[in-house]
Amino acid sequence: MPRSHSASDRDTWARTISFLLLASICYALPWSVFAALPAATDNSSVLRIQGSNTIGAKLGPALVEGLFEEQGLTAIRTEAGAVENEQRVIGKTADGRRVSIDVFAHGSGTGFTSLVDGSAELAASSRPIKDSETNSLQALGDMRSPAAEQIIALDGLAIILHPDNPISALNTAQVAQVFAGEFSDWEQLGARPGVINLYARDDQSGTYDTFKELVLSANGKTLATTAKRFESSDKLSDAVSQDRNGIGFIGLSYIRQAKAVAIAAGDSQPMLPSLTLIATEDYPLSRRLFMYNPPQSSNPWASALLQFAHSPRGQAIVEQSGFIAQTVKAVKIPPQATMPADYQALAQNAQRLSVNFRFQEGSASLDNKARHDLNRLMSYLREQNKLKGDVVLVGFGDAKPDPARAELLSKLRAMAVRRELNQGGVTFRGIIGLGDELPVAINSTQDGRIKNRRVEVWIY
């Protein structure tokens, strides 16, 4: 019998199809369509971006410069503002008019407060918006909607040490104990004796919020008051690299001269913050970088910048800036004896794609990143001539009291992705559900369970 659909299911499906059609149209549009973006008549900035230092220090200005180039502006330059961590990108139109965009980088939290008070039109954040921030911005629309919440890049938090520190791997519980001050000497971790010096980002930082959520709060800890705090990612990293007893946390692109250690969470294997493991969000301390555009915003430069950020050129700039682009790539995974048999067979004969599909919290609906990833994946499969019978989806989940139920749920997640891709003409070689095998995060936290509930894509 054909499966029946509730009204809610039909509404969700209709919204998804509409989004994909719109995305397909937008990705196909030539940039000349946006050549008429307005310049300010009074030399004021056409767009103000406030928020994450991780984004605002390098990536934000680089994306703005790229957009200016696409718009045909000339004499493009970036100037430091009068205040540290503030920059202005400036260009000239063909008729000599000045166009500028401000990029202020004082921490993710400041982005949302600036949207509230009207001092910025776009919020840059290195962590998801909080419930309290969503509530404060209700007058501007649903800030968690696909139109508002845009994932522009991926990043990983690196735990960094002095290059001479012999420690090569830590688990998240150990890292939490270190930054809580419970481990105060390196000898307690198997290294040479010495007082551990802590380096951390400031309270306004999305990097700190992410670290607090993924490491400290997940292990019931709080940051020791002895930690030295930094607004600048570069300065923090440089301080650790010059301190033999130092340890800090930083975004991947800011490791600089320091040494990153491999990180394990729960039953996962220790993982270095590699490009592939962050692209798939398997690395325990991987994170998304966001820009939030209020749905009721009418600023054309904000919309154009977000569209440019998602474009192939925009994602190339993401990569050039030291972050992880959301470009789909094939990766060969070495088979290992500890892998389940079906997974070993894939590793021996197929390649894994650098995209995982994840789901909204408490829902079977794909999250906002997955909506864009569907479009990216379809383009990749068409380009590689892999639409017919070459794709395998592998579903995973978090641990359940009944292993059979965990396996069923993981397969149902893979089937949800299959339904979406079927609409684009993809036929599949196989659908596999592996339950709670091969966890990438700890199952005792909500964030960890969400990470483990994933669907991988493999191609022959």
Tell the burial category of 18 from Cβ atoms under 10 Å away from its Cβ (0-12, 13-18, 19+).
exposed
Residue limits of CATH 3.40.190.10 in the chain: 12-151+289-320, 155-276
Query: What would the mean pLDDT of 319-329 be, rounded to a whole number?
Result: 93
Q: Where are the beta strands (DSSP E) in 72-163?
A: 74-80, 86-92, 98-104, 122-125, 149-161
* Mean pLDDT of the 300-324 span: 95
CATH of 155-276, one of 3.20.20.80, 3.20.20.100, 3.30.1330.10, 3.40.190.10: 3.40.190.10
Q: Angle CA(414)–CA(213)–CA(267) in degrees, nearest 5?
A: 55
Instruction: State residue 252's pLDDT score.
Output: 86
**What whole-number distance in Å separates Cα of residue 348 and Cα of residue 345?**
5
Beta strand pairing status for 262-264 and 351-358? unpaired
Decide if 253 contacts 155 (C-beta within 8 A).
yes
Question: Does 9 score more than 70 pLDDT?
Answer: no
- DSSP-based helix, strand, coil % in the chain, nearest 5: 40, 25, 35
CA dist 225 and 312 (Å) reads: 43
Q: 218 — alpha (psi -120 to 50), left (phi > 0) or beta? A: alpha
Q: How confident is the model at residue 16 (pLDDT cuts 50, 70, 90)?
A: very low
State the pLDDT at residue 257: 97
pLDDT of residue 21: 37
Which of 247, 283, 254 lies closest to 451, judged by CA?
A: 283
pLDDT digit string, tens, across residues 72-88: 999 999 999 999 999 99
**pLDDT tier at 26, thresholds 50, 70, 90:** very low
What CA–CA distance (Å, rounded) separates 314 from 324?
12
pLDDT tens-place string over residues 52-68: 998 999 999 999 999 99
First to last CA, the chain: 32
Q: Angle of helix 312-320 relative to helix 300-310, nearest 10 degrees? A: 80
Confidence class for position 11, pLDDT limits 50, 70, 90: very low
pLDDT at 362: 58
- 211-266 pLDDT tens trace: 998 899 989 999 999 999 999 999 999 999 999 999 999 998 899 999 999 999 98
The token duo for 290 is 């966001």
- Report residue 64 CA to chain centroid gap: 19
Domain 12-151+289-320 CATH class label = alpha beta
As given in the structure block, the two tokens for residue 210 are 């992410």
Between 451 and 188, the higher pLDDT residue:
188
Q: What are 255-306's pLDDT values in tens digits?
A: 999 999 999 998 888 999 988 899 999 999 999 999 999 999 889 999 999 9
Query: DSSP E strands: which ranges in 327-460?
Result: 330-331, 351-358, 388-396, 427-433, 454-459
Q: Is the pLDDT of residue 389 over 90?
A: yes
pTM to 2 decimal places: 0.80
The pLDDT assigned to 294 comes to: 97
CA separation (Å) from 368 to 6, 217, 410? 22, 25, 20
Fold of 328-459: 60s Ribosomal Protein L30; Chain: A; (3.30.1330)
| Residue range(s) occupied by CATH 3.30.1330.60 in the chain | 328-459
